[in-house]
Amino acid sequence: MTGTLETLSAIEEIRRLKARYFRLMDMKDWSGFAEIFTEDAIFDVLDALEENPDPAAAQPPVIGRAAIVDYVSTGIAPITSAHYGHMPEIDILSDDEATGIWAFEDILRLPAGGPFTLFRGHGHYHERYSRADGRWRIASLKITRLMVQMT
């Protein structure tokens, strides 16, 4: 599946899509961030990691581009963040469908006064992409976590 020019080009375009996802989130560029997702995208980042005390972990996924941007921008507003995606494994399924797995790290500095001020997490994104009008977007993403550190 990696042997054609069309496939290699699609893989590179999806790598860039995910690079923008992380960069625009950390830059808090929410109009650019919205363009990353399909209108009906599914965003499921609340992994029920045993050690993760987040009570929101039982919440359902966020559905739809507008709701995703609202959810992420509200959540990250008080936080300084650096998100990294590593070592993508991207499968181009057809001209307009693909899947990908990315290892990730998220480093979050929270405002003083909370139970911790620095969060560092590790895990994987499991994603589907779709292409419309010549442009790849994230159609769904789900996070699974390996480990978190809070100090």
Task: Closer to a copy of itself by CB, 39 or 78: give it.
Answer: 78
Contacting range for a copy of itself; rule: CB under 8 A; set: 5-13, 30-38, 60-68, 70-78: 5-13
89 is a site residue for a copy of itself (CB under 8 A):
yes
With CB under 8 A as the contact rule, the residue among 38, 122, 143, 150 that binds a copy of itself is 122
User: Which two tokens mark 40?
Assistant: 């009906």
What are the backbone angles phi and psi of residue 100, rounded to the nearest 5°? Answer: -155, 150
Residue 77 makes CB contacts below 8 A (sequence gap 6+) with 28
19 is a site residue for a copy of itself (CB under 8 A):
yes
Would you call 99 exposed, middle or buried from its count of C-beta atoms within 10 A (0-12, 13-18, 19+)? middle
CA distance linking residue 41 with residue 63, whole number of Å:
6
One-letter identity of residue 39 = E
Task: Closer to a copy of itself by CB, 64 or 88: give it.
Answer: 88
The CB-of-43 to a copy of itself minimum distance in angstroms stands at: 19
Contact map string, positions 53 to 82, toward a copy of itself, x by CB under 8 A: ---------------------------xxx
Task: Closer to a copy of itself by CB, 66 or 146: give it.
Answer: 146
Contacting range for a copy of itself; rule: CB under 8 A; set: 34-42, 55-63, 70-78, 99-107: 99-107
Task: Closer to a copy of itself by CB, 5 or 60: give it.
Answer: 5
63-97 residues labelled b (16+ CB within 10 A) or e (exposed): ebbeebbebbeeebeeeebebebeebebebeeeee
